Structure 1
Amino acid sequence: MKKLVFYISGFGFGHLTRSIALMQELLRQRHDIHITVKCHSQHMALALASFREQLEAVTVLPFDLGFQICFNAVTATVDYRATLESVKSWLERLKFGAEAEASACRGAGYSLVLSDIAPEAFVVANKLAIPSIGISNFTWYELCREYVGAERVEGLKAMYQTGSAFFEYPLSTDAEIPIANKQPVGLLSRPQELSRIRELQVKYKRPGRLLLFLSIGGALSLQNLSLSPELDYLYTRGIDLVAAENAIPVPEGTLDTQNYLAACDAVVTKCGWSTVAEALIARKPLYLLTSRDGWLEEKYMLQELAGLGVSQVIEPSEQVCLESDLFANIDTLQAAYATIPERYTDQAKKIAVRALAYL
């Protein structure tokens, strides 16, 4: 039995859901492996529920990345002062914390470390003398550098550079990632199931009306958002909307939100990688809610998506009412999917094969 350990950053659920998709594929391809999932304590319940049919092959343990990118919910902007203090405190503790984590893993019998994209994972692998794979669309090095400057994050960069490989997802921060041995890979998401999607369309889609999937996570605030009565909406947790016949929440505890997304005509979302990837895989037009001041990951994602022609930006000044005329170009965006490269389709199987080669 080969043992893997997978470290997952705890910012939102996106890192977890895409990592779940990869781990589920790893377990489908190899029945002689066991995966220890180390994720934020608040995400452990979702991780356990996602592996309920594979619990004998999975152990879930708490691992909390020690800083926060703080947002002001009122202004929908990054709180730079609070973020700076949080990042500086984490960087001061990082080396000690990473070495303590490595000591805790001695004797566990791990053969491979994967990380999305906790830097401590690479210290663990280095101390245990085993291979390690980073897999993400960014690293915390370039994002933290935005707040504290390059000098403070040199130690963080050095941790990432000890990895055996870095699998670089599409929609990445590209040349900002400080790793030489990057390997481009495709998108992935939890499986989108046609029969389930049709079932949801029968339940929620009304004839002659657009059904929009609305997802913003915790980085934006749309408390004053007005919804057009001419459109229907399925919306995810974290959005505080006034109850209406045409605004339906995705049921609490739903594990297959990717199927709800695929049942809709278009997706309205912040620039969160996992939701955007699920929309691309489902071939859904994307309407992207941008932040007021932007951040590095968002900047690069918007540039790449603009080149594909399948998305439209909704500026902060437009994020007051989602009127039907905002979606007048939905057919044009849909048609652009006919020419996007294969890399923007579900490549979970290929990514898993490549990862397992390091065992």
Structure 2
Amino acid sequence: MRSAYERFTDELPARVQREVLLLKEQEVQLVLSDMAAVPFAAAGQLGIPSIGISNFTWYTAYRGMLDHDQLIDLYALYVQMDYYAALPGAKEPRWGRLGQSQFGFYSREVDQQEVNRIRSLLPADKRIVFTALGMKIDAQHISEWRLWADEDVHYIVSANMNVPLSNVTSIPAEYTETQHYVAAADVIVTKAGWGMISEAVCCGKQLFIMERHRMQEDENTLLALASQYPYVSVPWEALKTKSFSELERIGERCGPPQATQGTDRIVAIVRYINEIMTTLQLRRDDHDEANSTIRRLG
């Protein structure tokens, strides 16, 4: 990893200049990044306003893996961010040289007709459990896990999970709007990834989160979640040795979940971006008017 990072930092000047050319060619008026760092430096060179939106940056993600001196170049990119929209779990330096705001969990829009279509394809008399273990899961013999043993449970799994059992439905590989499967499920079993947790929270689903070696980003997400939404922490090995009904007994101590208004949070973020753009446009108009007045008086 260190050698790959060193190659990245060696190439930074060229990467920034390529980004500068792209922003010029496309006549970009605002840069919005979800935390690629190079665009902030390119936008800074051109005087284009920039907004970062995320629950983490690569600067903090790598802090436990790389020496402080190695991270200086990455810090120098992020510090050029004009505004920072911080999502739940963000434990970051005070990014945003012109401003910072906090926002809540949000989800992609859910189409209830599509949810109904998915539910019609699943057994109506069984609990539906969406099991999302991550795209990079390395789990051999996964179909032999005891997790799938309950006859009164039907499971949804992502396309990368090979579980050829009669009580398991795989999401088609080409299907991208997986929030509809989250909404169609009764329970979500997942790793501590921000996106899946956010969609489960916004849909008000019972949430089981696997205990595995996590990046600091995941730990911060769970810290934010603990004060907002009930969840059950499940040891990774328990998925192999316990049925879902056995896991669910662990969750009986957990309070009932309640859906949050994820679409309201999206509206708040869009409003924040619009307010920034309006403010910047007013400043440009005032600047142009001042210059016009100076030319008339001159």
Task: Please report the TM-score for the alignment, with normalisation by the length of structure 2.
Answer: 0.82
2:128 matches 1:211: yes
Instruction: Give the Cα separation in 2 of the matches to 1:196 and 1:343.
Output: 19
For the Cα contact (< 8 Å) 2:211–2:234, is it kept in 1? Answer: yes
Unaligned segments of structure 2, at least 5 residues? 278-298
Q: Against the structure 1 CA distance between its residues 310 and 205, is the aligned structure 2 distance closer, same or farther, given a 3 Å change threshold?
A: farther
Q: What are the within-5 Å matches in structure 2 for residues 163-178 of structure 1?
A: 163-172=81-90, 174=91, 176-178=92-94
Name the counterpart of 2:265.
Answer: 347
Partner residue of 1:235 out of 157, 163, 173: 157
Instruction: Give the Cα separation in 1 of the matches to 2:27 and 2:265.
Output: 29
For the Cα contact (< 8 Å) 2:55–2:88, is it kept in 1? Answer: yes
Higher mean Cα deviation, 104-113 or 304-313? 304-313
Name the counterpart of 1:314.
Answer: 234
Q: Against the structure 1 CA distance between its residues 311 and 202, is the aligned structure 2 distance closer, same or farther, given a 3 Å change threshold?
A: same
For the Cα contact (< 8 Å) 2:202–2:261, is it kept in 1? Answer: no
What amino acid sits opposite 1:289 in the alignment? Answer: M
Shift of 1:182: 2.8
For the Cα contact (< 8 Å) 1:217–1:237, is it kept in 2? Answer: no
Name the counterpart of 2:181.
Answer: 260
Point out the structure with max Rg over C-alpha. Answer: 2
For the Cα contact (< 8 Å) 1:134–1:167, is it kept in 2? Answer: yes
3-state DSSP of counterpart to 1:145:
coil
What amino acid sits opposite 1:295 in the alignment? Answer: M
Instruction: Give the Cα separation in 2 of the matches to 1:299 and 1:312.
Output: 14
Name the counterpart of 1:191.
Answer: 109
Partner residue of 1:90 out of 8, 14, 34: 8
For the Cα contact (< 8 Å) 2:84–2:100, is it kept in 1? Answer: yes
Partner residue of 1:247 out of 160, 168, 171: 168
Q: Against the structure 1 CA distance between its residues 118 and 322, is the aligned structure 2 distance closer, same or farther, given a 3 Å change threshold?
A: farther
2:89 matches 1:179: no
Partner residue of 1:223 out of 118, 140, 143: 140
Instruction: Give the Cα separation in 1 of the matches to 2:250 and 2:120.
Output: 25
Percent identical among aligned pairs is 24
Shift of 1:346: 4.8
For the Cα contact (< 8 Å) 1:138–1:177, is it kept in 2? Answer: no
1:152-171 Cα offsets, whole Å, 9 max, x none, are 11121121111110101113
Name the counterpart of 2:214.
Answer: 294
Q: Against the structure 1 CA distance between its residues 343 and 257, is the aligned structure 2 distance closer, same or farther, given a 3 Å change threshold?
A: closer
Name the counterpart of 2:56.
Answer: 138
What amino acid sits opposite 2:155 in the alignment? Answer: Y
Partner residue of 2:17 out of 86, 99, 120: 99
Shift of 1:93: 1.9
Q: What are the within-5 Å matches in structure 2 for residues 100-115 of structure 1?
A: 100-115=18-33
Greater relative CO, 1 or 2 (CA 8 Å, sep 6+): 1
Partner residue of 2:246 out of 316, 322, 325: 325
Unaligned segments of structure 1, at least 5 residues? 1-82
What amino acid sits opposite 2:221 in the alignment? Answer: M
